[in-house]
């Protein structure tokens, strides 16, 4: 009989088998599921890394996690930015803000 610590949960257990590393079938099954999940995540990351994307409007490289086809800079509407800047400029000059919409 051999006293060991479970590789997954850390509990002590007694075994007559020299190569046993888990205290129970449940720990063994959970450890197997965790290993499969880790391998899947690694494969998924490698696949995403192969699919480098660039913005369709400019040469900016997009994150592999970005589901959009354009970068955040290109996604900003320049008309809205211009209108907001005009409004801010008017506020700083003491003029009332007119509603141009």
Q: Which domain holds residue 44?
A: 25-92
47: tokens are 């696949």
The answer as to whether 52 is a domain residue is yes
Within a domain: 7: no
Asked whether residue 45 is assigned to any structural domain, the reply reads yes
From the centroid of its chain, how far is CA 88? 36
- Is 6 a domain residue? no
Q: What is the pLDDT of residues 58-78, one digit of tens each?
A: 888 887 777 788 888 888 877
Question: What's the pTM value of the predicted model, to 2 decimals?
Answer: 0.47
pLDDT for res 101: 47
User: 34 lies in a domain?
Assistant: yes
- Per-residue pLDDT of 20-30, as tens digits, reads 999 999 999 99
pLDDT of residue 45: 82
Q: Which of 14-18, 47-51, 68-72, 87-91 has the highest mean pLDDT?
A: 14-18
**Is 73 inside a domain boundary?**
yes
Overall domain count for the chain: 1
Structure tokens at 23: 């205290």
């Amino acid at each position: 009989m051999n006293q060991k610590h479970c590789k997954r949960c850390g509990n002590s257990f007694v075994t007559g088998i020299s190569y046993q590393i888990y205290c129970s079938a449940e720990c063994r099954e959970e450890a197997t599921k965790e290993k499969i999940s880790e391998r899947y995540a690694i494969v998924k990351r490698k696949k995403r890394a192969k699919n480098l994307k660039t913005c369709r409007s400019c040469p900016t490289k997009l994150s592999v996690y970005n589901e959009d086809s354009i970068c955040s800079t290109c996604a900003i509407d320049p008309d809205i930015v211009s209108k907001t800047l005009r409004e801010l400029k008017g506020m700083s000059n003491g003029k009332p803000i007119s509603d141009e919409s």
